[in-house]
Amino acid sequence: MSIGIKDMSKFYHAFNELCNMYNIFDSKNPDCKNYLGKAKKFVEKYDELNEDYNNVNNHFIVQNNITVS
């Protein structure tokens, strides 16, 4: 599977959320609500990527089945 520029930006945004969470972490003054919000954003981005990946694979399988038939 080749990754287009549009998909690369989705990966960037997902991993950017993780980096932000790591960079703002302060063990002396933890703000759990802030980290929870960042974690939720990452999960949303991850789910979007996972859904896109599954759609591409399903399309590929359907396309191959039509070709074989």
Q: What is the mean pLDDT of residues 29-54?
A: 81
Instruction: State residue 23's pLDDT score.
Output: 82
Q: Where are the domains of the chain?
A: 5-68
Question: What's the Rg (C-alpha) of the chain?
Answer: 17
Instruction: State residue 11's pLDDT score.
Output: 81
> Residues 17, 41: contact at Cβ < 8 Å?
yes
**pTM greater than 0.85 (yes/no):** no
